[in-house]
Chains A and B, each alone.
Chain A
């Protein structure tokens, strides 16, 4: 992670940014016309289905596909043995880490061993989905069962069954090191932690656990592969990043990147779960074998068994302060499930657990633990929600022990701009003090709360966000309208927020701009829509392209006036001759003259922004606990977030509300339930229960704007941090309601009752 460099000044007066136009892709979405991944029907298209392992850990002895292949309507059957051999397995990842592409390929379809309940062992393409499913049931697989490893403690214990004889340690955001047979490790320490604890007036030690939760996008994974020539592949898919799919596929298929075109369809939710290949390689191989397009659409139980989730965790926290409430030392031991293969979100979880506070002596010891569950995926601020639940809850308990007001305690210790960060550079502009004061002054926080078994809680959270590569291309038409193409998948309205930034920068009417998500042949490489990066990083690319366009258009105006480009000014859609302000040409007029002034007007930009603005958020929540049943009801909920500059405030509120409700689900009732054999027992949306409209109240939003100097308009990423604070805030509220500490997620009725009985007696 690089230190931010000194940026140019940030714009503060806006015409378009900060308004709330109706989204440009909206009408298609309310009429049903929008084409999502499953809405494509190609001529001659076959439908795929997969056979998945019922065992969490087994060696594949043999697979007999003959009966399946003989079924009428079946066109091909494949197993792991039919997949291409990778020419290069270990590739560089950021910050000096490496990613083993073979792991990701094997996660799509097992070769020798299956590593989790739901691991694909064979796939079929047939005339329709029913035939493909029937054929899967005819495939005979002989397994040699192996002892499964089902929790992090067993996995790191000496003598545990080993999943991988050798492994490339995970490198999600930051590399881990080879440490144990079933775990990579991330260790960081500064100061003298152990000696400082002896000098602390108050020390809290707690153990926390969280359960796996799924990203829960309503659209299952889907892809359609079609070969448009012997060596040219097109993939129509629902993904957070077309280029990522293209590059994975080039590796899996041993093909040049230029020969694969990925067409991103409308995407029905991602939250970190749709940025990797699950189906594309299976569809491509079966399409090649049959000479026909192949679509594969996962069932919901396949989504829950085979994709996602965010890891189950165990986190031990020891943290101490003096009588003045100054944090002096912290020691965190974190076991995060990686699932079947290395590369879970241990690094971001570990690294942002305490970053929002200044603590002079810190030890962070995190493990990326391999066990027989699906390969864990990022989920909205990956790793941060689990780590925040543990660290923020321990800090709440410590403030209580020290007898200090919880907000004052946080104000005393809050990371402020200019404070040295653990990453080795001073904290850039951040509205941390403003946010903590905003909680204190919030009408929700100051309102009385009365009634038995009711309590109010707060929490405070931090997340990094991402910069990374983005491209944008802008093209003017002769009628003065503009087409803007970027490589960023639009999960929630970013076509609109990117178009708004173009309209702002060009000083033209927002309605003149049509924004498009480009396929991988039509625009430059753009990293996935992850890390809250699209409006921020792709926005910077859009603004850069606009600035280049204006320079080119000044030259065109100068041509008309027979002067140099430097003699022309531009503002609010009008080009003016500096020496004679009566001479003007509108943006539209220059567009109309393009053919006579040098050809079509286009500009593009490629950016890799470093100045990521950190995200912070806080929650205030009132709950009522039914002490007979253990059920927790949310009475009132407020969330606060520093967004830098809200490009579209309604969309920003939507991110805040949506993330908060996901965090509430994580806190109160969502969990993966594996039985002792390692079988997922709740792979339906009836049993894996996400919040409904009836479960939650309105989420009140307070938007704070501390400009991020790393973006010309001060924009920070918005999407991820809202999910982080709810579990700790709700735990705090429950504790204040009934005097019982919940240290295990979810805080479902059973766990609440158990805690009441343990801490207060039956």
Chain B
């Protein structure tokens, strides 16, 4: 299958790759760009482990084609921390034990980041509603919800 040349921006860096038209954005991120922080849990948009921000919209990257990224901006978990500091959400997930195995964590972080962008001070119900996009089988969600609440408080103070 012939490949398509794609130029896109990932976490602020302009990158180029060749993708088969059938490859998902998830596949391209993981296999071509070696950004393996974004995870595959179901490959049909139901678990949220592959969540990324695609031109300002939260998407399941398994349901977007790699070639669609041409000229777009993609944000993944690898872009959340600066060289100096973790993102407040990352720090809060650590402090509140908002993870166990960690496979769903990148998706929850990206999804939570988008929530706090639109609602800087969400209620518990709003957090639970928003994060219902993302499945976690380990934690039972409580500590994830608390981590998001803590990060919201930290970010509001900053």
Which B residues between 113 and 158 are near A, CB-CB below 8 angstroms?
A: 127-129, 131-132, 134-145
Contact with B along A693-708 (1 / 0, CB 8 A): 1111011000000000
The answer on a CB contact under 8 Å between A492 and B94 is no
CB of A635 to closest CB in B, whole Å: 14
Question: For A39, what are the chain B residues with a Cβ–Cβ distance below 8 Å?
Answer: 30, 36
Among B93, B134, B138, B139, point to the contact of A30 (Cβ < 8 A): B93
The answer on a CB contact under 8 Å between A130 and B131 is no
Q: Report the separation of the CA atoms of residues A219 and B50 in the bound assembly, to the nearest whole angstrom.
A: 11
Q: Report the separation of the CA atoms of residues A691 and B31 in the bound assembly, to the nearest whole angstrom.
A: 30
The answer on a CB contact under 8 Å between B43 and A300 is yes
Question: For A694, what are the chain B residues with a Cβ–Cβ distance below 8 Å?
Answer: 128-129, 131-132
The answer on a CB contact under 8 Å between A29 and B47 is no
The answer on a CB contact under 8 Å between B136 and A218 is yes
Considering the complex, give the chain B residue whose CB is closest to the CB of A238: B103
Among A22, A654, A658, point to the contact of B95 (Cβ < 8 A): A22
The answer on a CB contact under 8 Å between A658 and B40 is no
Among A38, A300, A658, A692, point to the contact of B139 (Cβ < 8 A): A658
Please judge, given known A-B contacts A686-B46, A690-B137, A694-B132, whether A30 and B101 are in contact too, CB under 8 Å: no
Among B95, B106, B145, point to the contact of A32 (Cβ < 8 A): B106
Q: Report the separation of the CA atoms of residues A39 and B38 in the bound assembly, to the nearest whole angstrom.
A: 10
The answer on a CB contact under 8 Å between B78 and A218 is no
Question: For A157, what are the chain B residues with a Cβ–Cβ distance below 8 Å?
Answer: none
The answer on a CB contact under 8 Å between A23 and B101 is no
Question: For B69, what are the chain A residues with a Cβ–Cβ distance below 8 Å?
Answer: none
Question: For A695, what are the chain B residues with a Cβ–Cβ distance below 8 Å?
Answer: 132
The answer on a CB contact under 8 Å between A27 and B86 is yes
A581 at the B interface (CB under 8 A):
no
CB of B104 to closest CB in A, whole Å: 5
Q: Report the separation of the CA atoms of residues A268 and B86 in the bound assembly, to the nearest whole angstrom.
A: 22
A1 at the B interface (CB under 8 A):
no
> What DSSP secondary structure best describes chain B's contact surface?
loop
The answer on a CB contact under 8 Å between B90 and A30 is yes
The answer on a CB contact under 8 Å between B101 and A217 is yes
Total chain A interface residues with beta-carbon distance under 8 A = 57
Considering the complex, give the chain A residue whose CB is closest to the CB of B130: A693
Considering the complex, give the chain B residue whose CB is closest to the CB of A130: B22
Total chain B interface residues with beta-carbon distance under 8 A = 58
Question: For A492, what are the chain B residues with a Cβ–Cβ distance below 8 Å?
Answer: 100-101, 138
A36 at the B interface (CB under 8 A):
yes
A216 at the B interface (CB under 8 A):
yes
The answer on a CB contact under 8 Å between A693 and B106 is no
The answer on a CB contact under 8 Å between A217 and B137 is yes
Considering the complex, give the chain A residue whose CB is closest to the CB of B139: A658
B14 at the A interface (CB under 8 A):
no
The answer on a CB contact under 8 Å between A218 and B38 is no
Question: For A699, what are the chain B residues with a Cβ–Cβ distance below 8 Å?
Answer: 140, 142
B42 at the A interface (CB under 8 A):
yes
The answer on a CB contact under 8 Å between B80 and A269 is no
The answer on a CB contact under 8 Å between A658 and B42 is no
CB of B155 to closest CB in A, whole Å: 16
Which B residues between 15 and 42 are near A, CB-CB below 8 angstroms?
A: 20, 22-23, 30-31, 34-42
B102 at the A interface (CB under 8 A):
yes
Q: Report the separation of the CA atoms of residues A491 and B139 in the bound assembly, to the nearest whole angstrom.
A: 12
Question: For B39, what are the chain A residues with a Cβ–Cβ distance below 8 Å?
Answer: 36, 38, 218-219, 268
Residue from A31, A269, A657 with most neighbouring chain B CB atoms (10 Å): A31
Considering the complex, give the chain B residue whose CB is closest to the CB of A685: B46
A505 at the B interface (CB under 8 A):
no
The answer on a CB contact under 8 Å between B97 and A651 is yes
A34 at the B interface (CB under 8 A):
yes
The answer on a CB contact under 8 Å between A653 and B86 is no
The answer on a CB contact under 8 Å between A32 and B103 is no
Please judge, given known A-B contacts A27-B86, A32-B36, A268-B39, whether A661 and B141 are in contact too, CB under 8 Å: yes
Q: Report the separation of the CA atoms of residues A220 and B101 in the bound assembly, to the nearest whole angstrom.
A: 13
A195 at the B interface (CB under 8 A):
no
A224 at the B interface (CB under 8 A):
no
CB of A658 to closest CB in B, whole Å: 4
Among A26, A31, A267, point to the contact of B78 (Cβ < 8 A): A31
B105 at the A interface (CB under 8 A):
yes
The answer on a CB contact under 8 Å between A36 and B94 is no
The answer on a CB contact under 8 Å between B104 and A218 is yes
CB of A639 to closest CB in B, whole Å: 10
A266 at the B interface (CB under 8 A):
yes
Q: Report the separation of the CA atoms of residues A383 and B127 in the bound assembly, to the nearest whole angstrom.
A: 34
Among A26, A216, A218, A698, point to the contact of B94 (Cβ < 8 A): A26
A660 at the B interface (CB under 8 A):
yes
Q: Report the separation of the CA atoms of residues A694 and B134 in the bound assembly, to the nearest whole angstrom.
A: 10
A19 at the B interface (CB under 8 A):
no
Considering the complex, give the chain A residue whose CB is closest to the CB of B80: A31
The answer on a CB contact under 8 Å between B20 and A30 is no
Please judge, given known A-B contacts A29-B105, A692-B132, whether A657 and B143 are in contact too, CB under 8 Å: yes
Please judge, given known A-B contacts A654-B139, A657-B139, A699-B140, whether A29 and B36 are in contact too, CB under 8 Å: no
A300-B47, A492-B100, A693-B134 given; 17 more Cβ-contact pairs under 8 Å:
A30-B93, A34-B102, A36-B36, A217-B103, A218-B39, A266-B101, A269-B101, A269-B138, A300-B41, A300-B43, A493-B100, A650-B96, A654-B100, A654-B143, A658-B138, A661-B140, A694-B131
11 contacts between A and B (CB under 8 A): A30-B90, A31-B78, A32-B38, A36-B103, A38-B30, A218-B135, A268-B103, A299-B43, A657-B141, A693-B127, A694-B131
Binding site for B on A (CB under 8 A): 20, 22-23, 25-27, 29-36, 38-39, 41, 130, 215-220, 266-271, 297, 299-300, 491-493, 650-651, 653-654, 657-662, 684-686, 690, 692-696, 698-699
